[in-house]
Amino acid sequence: MKKIIIFCIISGILMLNLTSCEPKMDYLNPDTDVIESYYNTQEHLVYAVNGIYGIFQGLNMWGRDMPYILNARGDEGIFTFKASAGDPTVVQLAGYTNGAEHSAVGSAFGDFYTIQYTANVALERLLENQGGAFDISKPQDKALYDRLLGEAYFLRGFSRFYLTFFFGDEIVDRDYASAGGSDFYAMPAEKGVIYQRMVEDFKKAEELLPVRSVIYADPSNIGRVTKGAAQAMLAKVYMARPILDGSASAGSAEWDEAKIVLNRIITSNEYELVNNYRNNSSEDDENNKESVFEIQFTRSEDAPFNVPVDFVGGGQNTWRQVCMTVPDPVCWWNLMPSLSLYNEFERDGSGNIIDARAFQGLWIPNGAKFRKEGSWVDYNLLIAAGGDDRAAWRGKYLGTRKYGTDYDGFDMMRGGANDRIIRYSDVLLMYAECCLETNDQSTALQYINMVRARANNPITNITDADAGMFYAVGQGTLPTGEDLIAAAPTLGQVQDGVGNVILPGLQINTARRLLKHEYSVELFMEGWRFFNMMRWYNNPNDPDRNIILNSLVDKYKMQIEQTGLTGTVPFDYNRHLRMPIPAGELQTNPNMHGNSAN
């Protein structure tokens, strides 16, 4: 599908990334099609849905900004000296100082509303079935028609999910395509309304969408959303009701409903864990059997510009690689893994990391090699590439291997790795969490161990990057979850240079703490850490509720220890759960008001 999603045909009308601003000029070209005459063929209606996917690739979305927004706000990512010197937007996100004028937050806000608008256009035109484009009495037509409707419902629900998580639910929400005029100044939704609407969107998508094997039977459809994607997002919504539904309160998560829908994914037999953990974040084996939903990218080396598709001629590249992976000077390296994440991985009695996921997902001491300027270099040389003064920072300056290549020699701004939004391992861990919440610890441990067991697999298709690593030559030694609980190590602790504890970490002595640990070492830098922490804080059943945010409150201490840089403020849940409503929206729409972050 990577070649399909470049179509952004929305009836010849410019897709405004504004929620309220009324345009000051006429964008209609009298020589082009308009809504009333365009959507009268199956091809046009397919393009209407394809256009929604294309928006996700933009620089304001997963092409650049969303990986920062999703990963900088948790305790897994901190800003670097490169960001401090050149990208204050990352410093502000990671340091909880972003205000209503923050450019990346404002752009994402607008683009998610563009997704909502384009999904509404597609839904309205599909439901109207203008000119009888689909003969619903024919099975083939009906199958395509239902699939397109399901995709549009999913993508609208997806935009509602992130808008509500980021900005709260007292925001504008439309289940129709705005025609302009006074509707640009719509009132915010009432509390709880958007939650119910996104639940319905994902339910309708689940009902209409085929399973993965049916959709992927046509290679040109690989990468489209599937029934499993709708089910996984529905489960996330149920589990996060306390932070998505403004009319709900702590303890309102719908565990039983989430467990039922997650079980439907598991028993569908459509998904399985792949052997190589690394394959879940590289350009190899994309849209594999573990993938539930991915944002599609491809390295567009022939495109005139190395920017995503919101610029004409920009191809379908992602800048995530150049922004967040290999340390300076190879890449920009504005956000790097934190010491608390580095120390979360289990070690043996000699202090050696025994979890292969650390080395397959991070650039860290004693890990994989990177091919720089034709030579394979280890971590020490990779860090020292910026000068001898880097030696003092070895073990503190870290890189993210996920979503990047293992070599340079090409334009690093032309990344091609798909951003994996939901993986089957996440589904298994969510199901384990639901089991814990419904008093079924034995089943929870079973599913946690399924995820842990994959980390012990010897990798296949070994390259020089991993040659000689323990996971390339034999079976790993990561213990079962039960054995880890019995050993009860404290993981994620951070100390300063003289041994003072900066962050205390967490002793893994219960199944619930084991699950938190497993979420971290399995899904790190994949955009879910902050989301999960906010869920856990809002769960009265969690004995760790009162300490779960401590690593965010004291993140500023880790920032100083790891980089010597100041600028991070203590996390305040009441202020920092949300990001502020952008100033442009407040200035334009007199009916809109700020949220707790403004």
pLDDT of residue 319: 95
Tell me if residue 213 falls in helix, strand or coil: helix
Residues with Cβ within 8 Å of 328's Cβ and at least 6 positions away in sequence, in order, are 80, 82, 385, 386
First to last CA, the chain: 40
Mean predicted confidence (pLDDT) in 362-378? 96
Query: Residue 598's Cα: distance from chain center in Å?
Result: 24
Query: For all residues of the chain together, what is the average pLDDT?
Result: 92
In a domain, 197, yes or no: no
- SS (HEC) of 19-64: CCCCCCCCCCCCCCCCHHHHCCCHHHHHHHHHHHHHHCCCCCCCCC
**131: pLDDT strictly greater than 50:** yes
Q: Which has more confidence, 488 or 389?
A: 488
**389: pLDDT strictly greater than 80:** no
Residue 31's pLDDT band (boundaries 50, 70, 90)?
low
In a domain, 52, yes or no: no
pLDDT of residue 375: 94
Best CA proximity match to 113, nearest among 190, 21, 192: 21
Residue carrying structure tokens 């410019």: 14
In a domain, 531, yes or no: yes
- pLDDT tens digit string along 35-67? 667 888 999 999 999 999 999 999 999 999 999
In a domain, 39, yes or no: no
- pLDDT tens digit string along 528-578? 999 999 999 999 999 999 999 999 999 999 999 999 999 999 999 999 999
pTM for the full model? 0.94
Separation between Cα atoms, residue 104 and residue 82, nearest integer Å: 18
Size (the chain), residues = 598
Q: How many Cβ atoms are within 10 Å of 350's Cβ, its own excluded?
A: 5
Separation between Cα atoms, residue 14 and residue 11, nearest integer Å: 9
Residue 277's pLDDT band (boundaries 50, 70, 90)?
very high
Burial class of residue 98, CB neighbours in 10 A (0-12, 13-18, 19+): buried
- The single-letter DSSP state of residue 130 is G
pLDDT of residue 413: 93
- β-pairing verdict for 419-423 and 399-400: unpaired
- Domain holding 494, by residue range, is 320-404+423-572
**24: pLDDT strictly greater than 90:** no
Separation between Cα atoms, residue 476 and residue 4, nearest integer Å: 40
Residue carrying structure tokens 């079973």: 446
Mean predicted confidence (pLDDT) in 268-282? 97
- pLDDT tens digit string along 158-173? 999 999 999 999 999 9
Best CA proximity match to 226, nearest among 256, 202, 200, 251: 202
pLDDT of residue 7: 38
Q: Which of 244-253, 277-286, 383-392 has the lowest mean pLDDT?
A: 383-392
- Per DSSP, the residues of 347-415 read B-TTS-B--HHHHHHEE-TT---EEETTEEE-HHHHHHTT-GGGGGGBTTB-EE-TTS-SB-SS-TT-B
pLDDT of residue 34: 64
In a domain, 346, yes or no: yes
Beta bridge partners of 494: 503
Widest Cα–Cα separation across the chain: 75
Best CA proximity match to 328, nearest among 401, 282, 384: 384
Alpha helices for 168-218 (secondary structure H): 193-208, 212-215
Mean predicted confidence (pLDDT) in 466-483? 97
Mean predicted confidence (pLDDT) in 381-405? 85
**27: pLDDT strictly greater than 80:** no
**510: pLDDT strictly greater than 70:** yes
**8: pLDDT strictly greater than 50:** no
Tell me if residue 76 falls in helix, strand or coil: coil
In a domain, 225, yes or no: no
Nearest-10 Cα torsion for 320, 326, 330, 336: 80
Is 374:499 a contact under the CB 8 Å cutoff?
no
- The single-letter DSSP state of residue 189 is P
In a domain, 186, yes or no: no
pLDDT of residue 301: 87
Tell me how many domains the chain contains.
1
In a domain, 595, yes or no: no
pLDDT of residue 385: 62
- What is the b/e burial string over 452-487, where b = at least 16 CB atoms within 10 angstroms of the residue's CB? bebbbbbbeeebebbeebbbbeeebebeebeebbee
Burial class of residue 324, CB neighbours in 10 A (0-12, 13-18, 19+): buried
pLDDT of residue 17: 44
pLDDT of residue 312: 72
Residues with Cβ within 8 Å of 53's Cβ and at least 6 positions away in sequence, in order, are 1, 4, 5, 155, 224, 296
Separation between Cα atoms, residue 122 and residue 85, nearest integer Å: 43
Q: At 189, which amino acid appears?
A: A
Is 243:535 a contact under the CB 8 Å cutoff?
yes
